[in-house]
Amino acid sequence: QVQLVESGGGLVQPGGSLRLSCAASISIFNLYTMGWYRQAPGKQRELVASISSGGDTNYADSVKGRFTISRDNAKKMAYLQMNSLKPEDTAVYYCNAKFMRIDFWGQGTQVTVSS
């Protein structure tokens, strides 16, 4: 059974940093595009960042220069380093794994940016 388990969320002050981790139990992890999405209350889920099997990255304009996505294929992990956090980054963050028509989601981790 495939699982994506996020960790690293929490409460942080504006300007602070958090690192989210996603542990994947996928047999061919290296073939998947890994992504981080977020959903704030009353808003649609949006793509924050993604990293392809080849290491190509893509970021939402709102997080460019502040967030960095990475992956460790040997450990079957994906990460999202979030710096210079803003209150508008507050949301539930979800890990996603995509390969062809296969699409897996984690349960989400709450990130709250507040003073």
pLDDT in tens, 65-108: 999 999 999 999 999 999 999 999 999 999 999 999 999 999 99
pLDDT at residue number 27: 87
Supply 40's token pair: 């704030």
Buried b (16+ CB within 10 A) or exposed e, 72-97: ebeebbbbbebeebeeebbbbbbbbb
At residue 4, what are phi and psi to the nearest 5 degrees?
-120, 125
